[in-house]
Structure 1
Amino acid sequence: MASALSRSTTSRVTADFNHLKNIRGPTGVYRSPARKRNPLAAKPLDAHPKDRIKWWNIVPGDRVRLVRGPYKDSNRIVEVLSINKYRNIAMFKDLSYPKKKNDPDAPAMPVQAHYSNLQLYMGKRSSHQNPTLTLGVFATRIHMTNPRYDIRQQRWMWDRYAAATSPILPGLQGEGGRRRRVTLSEAESIPWPEIPRKQYPPANLHDTSKNAVNTVTWKPMPPNVNPLTREILPPDVSATSVNFEETYIQALLQNRLSNLSPSLPMEIYLHEELSNPHSRAKKQKRWQVRMKAKEEERSEMIRKEMLDLRGRKRAVARREAIFRWNAKMKHDGKEARYRRWVQRGGLERTSKRSIRKARKGERRLRRLRNLVLQVGTKNQVVPGVETKTN
């Protein structure tokens, strides 16, 4: 939870809504009754999940002014450095808390302000009363379009508009120069700050040059040419229908690779053998084949029972077929598990364990046969020898 509270981001896009989750776990309490009994108890730093802002219209890179709080200044415009979506606060560039007197070397901490204490700066506009005068305009109310998810960029996208400004723009004025409620088409669009491009360090001797990356190092054979014999295939036969892998293996075993160009990569012949058989797609395909075979077997058993009812109703015959099919599936599952157990070396380990147990029993019997008891020793009795009792 502490890492989530201190997790501020400089990203200007909304990719997910993880900040709306309960970071205190399923048993977390945000409105603890203990606070009612003890007003001096520590107040949680994170906002309640239902109080957190979902759609942020003020993002890093925007220029704003603080209208409330200890650092409010209507004439000072600051740039948003980062935001913390768990606490609904923003941090600013070139605006930091004063350093402590007892620790002047400590790094400066940026000022934090709540989202509701900010007004978005829209730029300078000409005053409608005095066209020669330019004033800074701030958005006091922001509307937004319906968000849409961009699959290619993997983020949510929407447009923001100024529904109310300070000072009031001419298009947003009503009767008597007062502010009026406007529609989305009448509001002025506010562009998003540009996303800075990632700066890469200059290339050095350890980096691959651009020319080396763009150089073509593999030129496969044309699709109508057999890469083993270099013969042109007939028009009705494609290279994909020829089993080059089996042909290559047989030629390799029979030492008939004289016609093969050594510059051709091996992967074009052994792509199936060298590919990963445990990929998700291949495992899913094998599972689908097994499920299809089971379903076909189930349908076949039901069909056979329906052809030979023997005085039973069709529903009864169907239930009996399904019962036998389930029993067969359980039996086949046990056999498959046993085969996998044997393939993993379970049978060999069991036999070794039995042999070790037998040797251990033989050693125990040998020690008992070779045991010699001394007559007259306490806590020992030799059979067949009478002992005197006091």
Structure 2
Amino acid sequence: MPALRTQNLLPTHVRWTKDLLHLLPVPRFVAQRKGAKAICKPVKPKDRIKWWNVVPGDQVRLLGDKTGTIHEVHLINKFSNRVYLKRENTADESKSSDPRKQNVSKQVPYSRCQLFCGTFSFPPAAGQAEPQKLPVFATRISTTKPFWHPTMHRFEWKRFAAATIPKLPGATGLPEDRLHIPWPKPNPPRKVDPSLYDTPKDVVTEITYTPPSLPASFDAPVPEPPSEQLYISTLRTPQAVAYDAAQPFEVHVSKELTNPHSRAKKQARWQAYQEYRRRLLAQMVAEEMRDLQGRTRAVARADATYKWKARLEEERKAEVLRRWRNRGGEADLLRTKERKARKARRENERLKNLVLEDAPNQVIPRAQA
């Protein structure tokens, strides 16, 4: 299980349960932070809710709210069992220039939330002829057994309203009559009009290359691909070689357009090198076996293996040296040596041309006879 971090303790808008980190104890130095790094006070691990059925995007009402207003869940904090409700700004708050007073979420305990199941038709009230439509809320929730979804990398389960208020007509209370509560759907991505920096759709879907057609029958000769060397020769001397300019240009630069660092190319190079190692070992062992010189076959094979490892090490060092030269290491070394030599020459010239001004208390050493 991944380690518990500070960002895990903050309110989140993620609807899915991807781990159970919210059941871990919170370190004391994190829980007692103050100021800008302060977090909501977490509850004890034994009091935390393991499987959350109230997630961002749900519509709930609060127990004890006489108005019965339906709120939308904005954020949740699984460490403090708090639910943050989305609140619409009033006219006075919208005019306020203080950003702290705008879009301030109201946080309530998880236990006060009742899920809104929808609006259902009920029998007409006393003295009325038309059926009435009333909002239905879940007073008790039951779920299926959570399971880990390996593709989506999250826990999934279904939630049902085992008891509702008001009670649905014809409800028997049996498990098969439970009301299924679907999970909230994420908001669709906002579509932005393309700007001058975006490529239009018709340009992207335009067909700019048509591959050459192959023969319809198996008896017909297969056309040969265009010669890459012929194309290069045509670029150098256009008049010397005849070349069909109608041939597709992409065929000639297929090697340049492919990624040499792709996984398939790396694997092919590695497999070729492993095959070269095996062939080289077999060749060197065969050479030692042809002339044993009084040695046993086991000793001859050991000598061949030692020479094989030494050969591979020499080739590795030569390859490292070649790569160092190709990336400009040798040129940089020569340039550094020349720069140091120029600096030494300038210092010698400066010392040769040094002239001391006459001043008191100067003693000119005399040459010894």
CA displacement at 1:117 relative to structure 2? 4.1
Cα deviation 1:167-187 (Å, max 9, x = unaligned): 5774436xxxxxxxx5xx675
Conserved 8 A contact 2:74-2:86: yes
Conserved 8 A contact 1:88-1:114: yes
Please state whether the residue corresponding to 1:172 is helix, strand or coil: coil
Conserved 8 A contact 2:31-2:42: no
Q: 2:268 aligns with which of 260, 278, 285?
A: 285
Q: 2:158 aligns with which of 160, 164, 168?
A: 160
Q: 1:365 to 1:60 in 2, by over 3 A?
A: closer
Q: 1:311 to 1:211 in 2, by over 3 A?
A: closer
Cα deviation 1:293-338 (Å, max 9, x = unaligned): 3354446556766787765584x76665554444333332222222
AA aligned opposite 1:119: Q
Distance 1:171 1:304 in 2: 89
Matches within 5 A, 1:47-58: 47=42, 56-58=52-54
Matches within 5 A, 1:188-199: 188-199=179-190
AA aligned opposite 1:161: R
Q: 1:62 aligns with which of 55, 58, 64?
A: 58
Q: 2:70 aligns with which of 70, 77, 85?
A: 77
Q: Does 1:348 align with 2:346?
A: no
Q: 1:85 to 1:285 in 2, by over 3 A?
A: farther
Q: 1:210 to 1:45 in 2, by over 3 A?
A: same
Instruction: Note the aligned Cα RMSD (angstroms).
Output: 5.2
CA displacement at 1:213 relative to structure 2? 5.0
Distance 2:30 2:213 in 1: 78
Cα deviation 1:251-275 (Å, max 9, x = unaligned): 43442465322xx653232121243
Aligned to 2:365: 381
Unpaired runs of at least 5, structure 1: 23-27, 37-41, 174-181, 226-231, 386-390
Aligned to 2:144: 144
What is the total number of aligned residue pairs between the two structures? 341
Conserved 8 A contact 2:25-2:44: no
Q: 2:220 aligns with which of 231, 235, 238?
A: 235
Cα deviation 1:325-378 (Å, max 9, x = unaligned): 44333332222222222222332333344344445555666677778999x974
Q: 1:254 to 1:163 in 2, by over 3 A?
A: same
Distance 1:299 1:48 in 2: 69
Aligned to 2:255: 272
AA aligned opposite 2:322: R
Distance 1:216 1:117 in 2: 59
Distance 1:355 1:33 in 2: 58
Tell me which moved more, 298-307 or 103-112: 298-307
Distance 1:202 1:34 in 2: 44
CA displacement at 1:162 relative to structure 2? 1.9
CA displacement at 1:62 relative to structure 2? 1.7
Conserved 8 A contact 1:92-1:112: yes
Conserved 8 A contact 2:74-2:84: yes
AA aligned opposite 2:138: F
TM-score (ref. length: structure 1): 0.63
TM-score (ref. length: structure 2): 0.65
AA aligned opposite 2:136: G
AA aligned opposite 1:293: Y
Q: 1:161 to 1:357 in 2, by over 3 A?
A: closer
Q: 2:244 aligns with which of 227, 251, 259?
A: 259
Conserved 8 A contact 1:66-1:118: yes
Conserved 8 A contact 1:146-1:158: yes
Distance 1:351 1:21 in 2: 60
Q: 1:289 to 1:89 in 2, by over 3 A?
A: farther
Aligned to 1:220: 211
Q: Percent identity?
A: 29
Q: 1:357 to 1:63 in 2, by over 3 A?
A: closer
Conserved 8 A contact 2:116-2:135: no
Q: 2:314 aligns with which of 328, 331, 356?
A: 331
Conserved 8 A contact 1:21-1:49: no
AA aligned opposite 1:338: L
AA aligned opposite 1:249: I
Q: 1:34 to 1:271 in 2, by over 3 A?
A: closer
Distance 1:284 1:236 in 2: 34
Matches within 5 A, 1:78-97: 78-84=71-77, 89-94=82-87
AA aligned opposite 2:173: L
Q: 2:191 aligns with which of 200, 216, 229?
A: 200
Q: Does 1:8 align with 2:12?
A: yes
Unpaired runs of at least 5, structure 2: 126-130
Please state whether the residue corresponding to 2:189 is helix, strand or coil: coil
Please state whether the residue corresponding to 1:351 is helix, strand or coil: helix
AA aligned opposite 2:209: W
